Amino acid sequence: MHMGNGCENTEFSSIITIAAVIAIIIAIAITGYVVVFTEKQHSSLYLIPDSYQNLARNDTIFFAYGVINSEGEVTDYDIGIYLNNTLVVTEQFRLDTNERYEKNEEVRLTKNVSYPAKVEVLLTNKNTMNTEEVHFWIETNT
């Protein structure tokens, strides 16, 4: 039977401790890199609160939307406004990094609109071709 002198266990324990410390340092470095360098770049499309009502008035709807560019570069955009999946307004614009764009819209309703009607704003980032959509529903006031 062989009995160790305890020195081997101490050396093994030291190696495990050093390996654990190195693994923790590597994990912290990787986490820091991910947090600092992989911030998701995106565009934000939103309806401006209280800018619209869910009732059509005199065959016209009013609302406002906004876009924020967080892409990290100058970005070209297309806007399409749809009424029950029918394109009724288009617009193009360009925003610099962190620039904001807001627009008041007025859309005339056609006589054959079926209610409830979906009003949809579709934003297309022309650099990446990514899209975002916001919408609301309207009822007739008659």
Q: What is the pLDDT of residue 111?
A: 80
40: helix, strand or coil:
coil
Instruction: Read off the tokens for 84.
Output: 């029950």
pLDDT > 80? residue 116: yes
pLDDT digits (tens, 9 = 90+) for 7-24: 567 777 888 888 778 878
Together in a domain, 27 and 92: no
Among the listed residues 91, 92, 82, 96, the one whose alpha carbon sits nearest the alpha carbon of residue 133: 82
Together in a domain, 70 and 112: yes
DSSP state of 84: T
Together in a domain, 25 and 53: no
Q: Are 81 and 51 in contact (CB under 8 A)?
A: no
Together in a domain, 33 and 70: no
**Count of structural domains, the chain:** 2
pLDDT digits (tens, 9 = 90+) for 47-67: 999 998 888 777 889 999 999
Together in a domain, 132 and 71: yes
pTM check: above 0.95: no
78: helix, strand or coil:
strand
Q: Which domain holds residue 131?
A: 42-138
Among the listed residues 98, 117, 88, 113, the one whose alpha carbon sits nearest the alpha carbon of residue 43: 98
Together in a domain, 59 and 128: yes
